[in-house]
Amino acid sequence: MRILFVGDVVGRSGRVAVTETLPGLVRDWKLDLVVVNGENSAGGFGITEAIYHELLEAGADAITLGNHSWDQREALVFIERAPRLVRPANYPPGTPGRGAALVETRTGKRALVINAMGRIFMQPFDDPFAILDRELNACPLREAADAVVVDFHAEATSEKQGIGYFCDGRASLVVGTHTHVPTSDHRILPAGTAYMSDAGMTGDYQSIIGMDKEEPIGRFLRGYPAGRFEPAEGVATLSGVAVETDDATGLALRVAPVRIGPTLERAVPDFW
């Protein structure tokens, strides 16, 4: 199976990069599954129902979230009628929506997409290790799903690496999101799971983690806010990770970073 994971889409600039670039990648790379993190897609904070459908129409098969899941209050309602929208599974019981979704790919295969959130330097929700163990046991790779993608939305690289090894052999891909900075540690772990500490963002990299530079710099200098964070609106770079899996096992055969845009060094897989 050919899988593309697209890192945090930030604001209008990031959405334009997805809508202009993703359809061609789906066609040219013959992608089976596309997962997009959309938690910053609405003005940098949260997601709306219209944007959810916009990302699906561009080629996403599932959309994951994170700590900004509910910044757009409408998400608390429309997520119940959005079966391909996946919020962190370790939110407290009773939270709207779902933390995992079994989606049918465009080639008729089954892919389990799980979203979980870290606890180090983040809100201390339920234990992500226990939650991921539950979800992976409920829908095992090979037995119930042809591929399993885990989006671990977290701040600390150590926690992300811990989750990667914890899921090794039970997931096709474990990829970190949230920091908006792509890492160069993409690899296949010993038991066959592709891993990358952070997929980076799909947004304008002439910014401070996707936000217009003036207000963040001002806060560093002043020590207090003088206005709202606003997404940078320059041309975005699409960042993420590409994985090819073994159809017999669901585990990774190849993994490569993806960076397409004007600011970062271009990277595309050489195996498709």
Catalytic residues: 68
What is the torsional sign of CA 200, 139, 53, 245? Answer: positive
φ, ψ for residue 240, nearest 5 deg? 175, -155
| Residue-wise DSSP of 66-115 | -TTTTSSTTHHHHGGG-TTEE--TTSPTT-SS-SEEEEE-TTS-EEEEEE
Both tokens of residue 16? Answer: 């334009």
Both tokens of residue 123? Answer: 């809100």
What gap in Å lies between CA 91 and CA 200, rounded to an integer?
A: 23
Both tokens of residue 239? Answer: 């960042």
Q: Using only the alpha carbons of the chain, give its radius of gyration.
A: 17
